[in-house]
Amino acid sequence: MTTIYLMRHGETDWNRQERMQGQMDCPLNENGRHQAAKAGKKLTDLGIRFDRVCSSPLCRAVETAQIISGRPEQEIITDPDIMEMGFGPFEGVFFVDMPAEMFTFFSDPERFPAPEGMETIPHLKERTGRFLDRLRTADPGGTMLVVAHGVALRVLLGHLMGPDWDRGWKMPLENCCIYRVVLQDGAFSFPEKVEADTRDPGKRVPLAAENAQTVLERIRRLDAARHPLIVAIDGRCGAGKTTLAAELAREAGYPVIHMDDYFPRPSQRTAERLATPGGNVDHERFLAEVLTPLREGKPACIRPYDCRTQQIGKPVAVPESPVIIVEGSYSCHPELWDNYDLHVFLDVDPRTQMERITERNGEKKAEEFRERWIPLEELYFAAEGIARRCELYLK
């Protein structure tokens, strides 16, 4: 019998900045090392000692394995089959800048293929399955630590859950989370989570996670007979709308639609239109292509507008789901308002807003936001009373 502890690595700077890492070799940050040390102490307090330690070859996983086990790097067995999924051209991209097809893929990877240039789910399943097959064949006995990554670990857990593969994919896996599996007579037990709070006791739960729970609780109180339920998350730029939507997608598996994909086309960007509250969005196309079909029970597609090429992209189907999230400024536009079941406004103070925009976009772009985009938003918020009208107001 072999007892296996599956873990995700500790935090990196890119985790904290909400950037796609994939197979980029990002090291742990100080908080990540603290998380690993705390998880290691938890396991030690439970009387757990490891006979073997295996890790992805990426340094953030190897260092986590070293801290947890107390072993030097040369004693860590590295296996490329449990490396993180390759995100290709999206490695290094901030979550807020991910294209719509990335969110669609992550919401239901069985139905929607990975965007071009990324590793595919069948390939990731195949290599993580090879890793489990080798363990099954060897069944070395004793206790083993395996350190992997968020997406790779989800797929490993999916394998171990059998018919419940989708459940494994949708599990929220925080840094340094731990799952225990027993291998006996060639069969793996169902994964069991080991509770080990690795957060800094002086830090609060991330605000996006708190806000996501608030939104989920309100969604549970909505009329489930209406299908799908559509939730709009509006609010000031830099408030964390995309981060909140991504948290809802991770927590509940809801697909996310981004209003940024409906930026006005060149012919629409007239002085007269932009002077109109809410004119800085192609609400006509969004209503026709997305909200109206959804409300009529018909298939809907997103056709994202690419600001660089000034072209409308290929259609991406909106996944079937009991709940669909629409995030972004102008999502609560008066022409769209009545199509939603819940309206959420996410606020941020001006100083924090500019700090976040500068960190995300740089000084030059931040100044453009200050002079151009923020005033248009504020005109819309004030004229339409969006914050006051929304059922949920969050900061």
User: 316 with 289: CB under 8 angstroms?
Assistant: no
Clarify whether 9 is annotated catalytic. Answer: yes
Say which of 9, 258, 283, 333 is annotated catalytic.
9
Dihedral angle sign, alpha carbons of residues 165, 170, 174, 179:
negative
227: annotated active-site residue: no
Calpha distance 201→182 (Å, rounded): 31
Among 11, 84, 91, 289, the one annotated catalytic: 84
Instruction: Give me the active site residues, please.
Output: 9, 84
